[in-house]
Amino acid sequence: HTVEHDAFFDTIHVAIEASSRDVQVSVATSDAEAKQRAAKAKLERYTEIWSFLRRPGARTLATGGALEGRCPNCGAPLENAQTARCTHCQALVNSGDYDWVLAEITQPIEWRPGSTGSVSGLKDIMERDPTFNRQVAEDRAGYVFWRWMEAMVRRSNAPLAQCATPAFIKRSLREHPEAVHHYRTAVGAVDLVAVINDDTFERIYIKVLWSSARSPRAIPIPATTVLVLSRRMGVAGKTGFSHARCPSCHGPLPENDATTCEYCGAALGSADTDWVLEETLSLNGLAKRVSRAKEASRAAFGQSSAAGYTDADDSDDPEDASDEPIPEWATPDMGNRRERLLLLMRMAAVVMADGVVTRQERRLLKTAARRWDVPFEAVEPILTGQIDPQEMEMMRPAAPQTFFNGLVSAALIDGKIDGREEKLLLDVAASLDITQADAKNTMYAMTKTARSGSSAHT
């Protein structure tokens, strides 16, 4: 499919075409009956993108690697299947340091090249920890995200016991007293967007674009969550892509909520040894966090970049970062179909704010759906009041001006705003209580910036 290269990893993306028969059966169904029912199901063809990573300069041994039961570094037989470390040379066999490892499986509609672009604080953390790289950080966040999802669905702290702080686990169970229902959950993208540290901890902020349905027959609703992972200053990465293993001995993690490794006794779920989930934020919460960190950094003149603000300051204030330039991670990625769909659904939530959708508003939303190549049917539940009011409120932008700026950026994807797009933007601006004059000024200024070739936003 394609090949990528950077200082940390070579990546090959392989498009795999396959077919299968999919059928749901009860756990009590016998194998023979399950196969019989599957044989009657329709044969479905599909394509997946498999991404394999390997360190630059590494060479696959002629004798084979882990798949053949041999260490990819020294070639010795792998004697202990319970750990990912070779007992002969101590190499971590699935780290990507010695051979290709599978890092991700993506649907073609959601596949895109690896994370690019500048990240605030990335250079500093790489100087402190030469082993740090965004591929492993994003892989760790993907693992933590699914453990968080499992914890909410099961309403259990066991899935988070080895990868989240005790404070987060306690807060999560308190905020979700009942099991959360998620169906057909899927992750579209995991991107490192910021790094902020204080004198004690480093924190990486990773944006996860995902979707899920709240009932078996409901349409999956796109969402964006920022995971905040923390690690004590001075700790270096050791696990590579082995996130489901002890960071000390690399033995498999226990399936219960134990916080110590049963092989070596090391503490699990501790920021003293690995990145752990400390909190979750919205994009608006992240914008405010980054803005305050920059202010603190300027005020301290070289002291801790995170000093001077507390978690309590990071709530989704309606004025949240509305006067700040839009960072790259806050602007819709119009090359990602899931983000285009999320943008359309948020627009629908905006026009539904007064409980009435006019024919003109519906027509404008259909126009946006057609131009962005996303299904208009996905917003029908919003326009017909089938979405839970609390979920609707979550979809509405907490920072109207920032959201409007993002819409303008999306419209400017081809370098201009035509008449239909301008009408749509003005209609949405009215729903956001942004005056027509302010909306037009924003469109004019951002169009001028786009034409000048600058990446700055106003």
- The amino acid present at 167, given as its one-letter code, is A
332: pLDDT confidence band, cut at 50, 70 and 90?
low
Average pLDDT of the chain, as a whole number = 78
Q: Which helix (H) or strand (E) holds 420?
A: helix 419-431
Closest CA to 211 of 317, 344, 20: 344
Q: Give the per-residue pLDDT at 304.
A: 44
Angle between helix 419-431 and 359-372 (nearest 10): 120
204: pLDDT confidence band, cut at 50, 70 and 90?
very high
C-alpha 28: how far from chain center: 36
When mean pLDDT is compared over 245-249, 251-255, 285-289, 384-388, the highest value belongs to: 285-289
Q: Give the per-residue pLDDT at 321.
A: 38
Q: Give the per-residue pLDDT at 14.
A: 94
Of 60-69, 77-86, 149-158, the range with the lowest mean pLDDT is 77-86
Give tens-digit pLDDT for 206-224: 998 888 887 777 777 778 8
Res. 238: pLDDT tops 70: no
251: pLDDT confidence band, cut at 50, 70 and 90?
low
Alpha-carbon distance 349 to 387, whole Å? 10
Q: Give the per-residue pLDDT at 457.
A: 42
E strands, 363-405, where? none
Give tens-digit pLDDT for 438-448: 999 999 988 88
Starting at the edge strand found earlier in the chain, the sheet holding 10-21 runs 2-5, 10-21, 43-54, 101-106
More confident residue, 326 or 405: 405
Q: Is the dihedral of CA 237, 201, 134, 148 positive or negative?
A: positive
Alpha-carbon distance 391 to 389, whole Å? 5
Burial class (CB within 10 angstroms; exposed 0-12, middle 13-18, buried 19+) of 384: exposed
Q: Give the per-residue pLDDT at 400.
A: 76
More confident residue, 329 or 265: 265
Res. 134: pLDDT tops 50: yes
- Residue 330: CB atoms within 10 Å: 24
Domains assigned to the chain? 115-320 (3.10.450), 331-452 (no CATH)
C-alpha 448: how far from chain center: 32
Q: Give the per-residue pLDDT at 256.
A: 60
Q: Give the per-residue pLDDT at 314.
A: 45
Q: Are 91 and 253 in contact (CB under 8 A)?
A: no
- What average pLDDT does this structure show over 173-186? 78
More confident residue, 145 or 126: 145
133: pLDDT confidence band, cut at 50, 70 and 90?
confident
- Give the max Cα distance, the chain: 72
Alpha-carbon distance 218 to 65, whole Å? 44
E strands, 362-401, where? none
More confident residue, 392 or 386: 386
326: pLDDT confidence band, cut at 50, 70 and 90?
very low
Closest CA to 22 of 40, 4, 7: 40
Give tens-digit pLDDT for 83-100: 677 888 888 888 888 999
Res. 328: pLDDT tops 80: no
Give tens-digit pLDDT for 298-313: 666 554 444 333 344 4
Res. 317: pLDDT tops 60: no
Q: What percent of the chain has pLDDT over 90?
A: 15
Q: Give the per-residue pLDDT at 438.
A: 92
Q: Give the per-residue pLDDT at 88.
A: 85
Residue 21 makes CB contacts below 8 A (sequence gap 6+) with 38, 39, 41, 42, 43, 44
Res. 201: pLDDT tops 50: yes
Q: Give the per-residue pLDDT at 456.
A: 45
- What average pLDDT does this structure show over 279-306? 70
Q: Give the per-residue pLDDT at 360.
A: 76
Residue 392 makes CB contacts below 8 A (sequence gap 6+) with 349, 352, 382
